[in-house]
Amino acid sequence: MVPEPFEIVVKRRDTTDTWTFELEPRSGEPLQFAAGQFTMLSAGGAGEVPISISGDPDRPERLVHTVRAVGLATRAICDADPGRVLGVRGPFGTAWPVDEVRGMDVVIGAGGIGLAPLRPALMSLLARREGYGRLVLMYGGRSPDQLLYPDELADWADRGFEVLVTVDSAGPEWLGHVGVVTRLVRRAELDWTATAAMLCGPEVMMRFMVAALVDQGAQGENIYASMERNMQCGIGHCGHCQLGPTLVCRDGPVYCWSELAPWLAIREL
């Protein structure tokens, strides 16, 4: 239950309230992880929070986390500069089905900071580009300045991802799409019955995204989503992250939608 020390070696500001950290383990032992997993992250004595890993699973030497300052613990993390040490426990949870969907077209559907947990999957897909059909990223943000990883979006496009970006609102300088991310679904003309989707974002965004995908002909068993609940221990002992018959820290955060759908239909589950 004691966190391992990881030193901040790179800190990059993504948006007004979001930073990406690259961390190196003091032990020298890389943290091997699977795309989609999370760690319990802490700074000093300000409490521990579950944060998805957003780095490349093929390069575990540096642990990468994108963190939005929204509460006491995340604010303390975001205040920490290079040279400071963060506490890490993990990795925990289930992974994106990167290997399972080989041979299929893959849609990555991200809303806001939901792109961070999907970045490892995206990198794994690109590293094995020839193993997949079309790769499409559908990414929605609040406004152009709130988009994560803008330089990488262009790089991913160069390397074989169809990158579709939309924002809720923008000024006249924005030449891209405006509107909710679900509207991008209709734009991508895919062979939907052979398309897998990996989704992460606000729960309401994922619900509408699934509805749009299924409407086009995608199969529920090919849709995966990363869920957020109040994970506190990461090891299935504290009870807080219950989602119906599952524990998100143990049986999630990545779930197959067809298994989850009946439960998400229940309000305040």
Partner 1 sequence: MDGVHVIERNDFDALLDALTRRGYAIVGPTVRDQAIVYDEIASSADLPAGWTDEQEAGHYRLRRREDEALFGYAVGPHSWKQYQLPAEVKLWRARVDQDGGLSNVTEPPRESPRYAFLGARSCELHAVGILDRVLLGGSHPDPADAGRTKDLFIVAVQCGEAGGTCFCVSMKTGPVAERGFDLALTEVLEEHRHYFVVEVGSERGADVLADVPHGEAVEEDRTAAGAVHARTASQMGRELDVTEIKELLYRNYDHPRWEEVAERCLTCGNCTMVCPTCFCTTVEDVTDLAGEHVERHQRWDSCFTVDYSGIHDGAVRGSAKSRYRQWMTHKLATWHDQFGTSGCVGCGRCITWCPVGIDLTEEAAAIRESEEGPK
* Residues engaged in binding partner 1 (CB under 8 A): 1-3, 5, 7, 26, 42-48, 70-71, 80, 83-87, 202, 228-230, 232-240, 242, 244-247, 250, 266-269
* Cα 37 from chain centre: 9
Q: How far apart are CA 190 and CA 239, in angstroms?
A: 40
> Which one, 26 or 187, has the nearer CB to partner 1?
26
> Which one, 48 or 56, has the nearer CB to partner 1?
48
Q: How far apart are CA 49 and CA 27, in angstroms?
A: 22
Residue 220's SS3 state is helix
Q: How far apart are CA 56 and CA 91, in angstroms?
A: 14
> Which one, 2 or 175, has the nearer CB to partner 1?
2
Smallest separation, CB 14 to partner 1 (Å): 17
Token match 């990468």: residue? Answer: 64
Smallest separation, CB 218 to partner 1 (Å): 26
Q: How far apart are CA 134 and CA 126, in angstroms?
A: 11
3-state helix, strand, coil in the chain (%, to 5): 30, 30, 40
Smallest separation, CB 202 to partner 1 (Å): 8
Smallest separation, CB 163 to partner 1 (Å): 27
> Which one, 78 or 190, has the nearer CB to partner 1?
78
Smallest separation, CB 15 to partner 1 (Å): 15
Token match 């143990």: residue? Answer: 250
Q: Which amino acid is at 176?
A: G
Smallest separation, CB 96 to partner 1 (Å): 20
> Which one, 8 or 137, has the nearer CB to partner 1?
8
Q: Which two tokens stand for residue 258?
A: 């067809």
Q: How far apart are CA 98 and CA 193, in angstroms?
A: 18
> Which one, 72 or 178, has the nearer CB to partner 1?
72
Q: Sign (positive/negative) of CA torsion 125, 126, 127, 130? A: positive
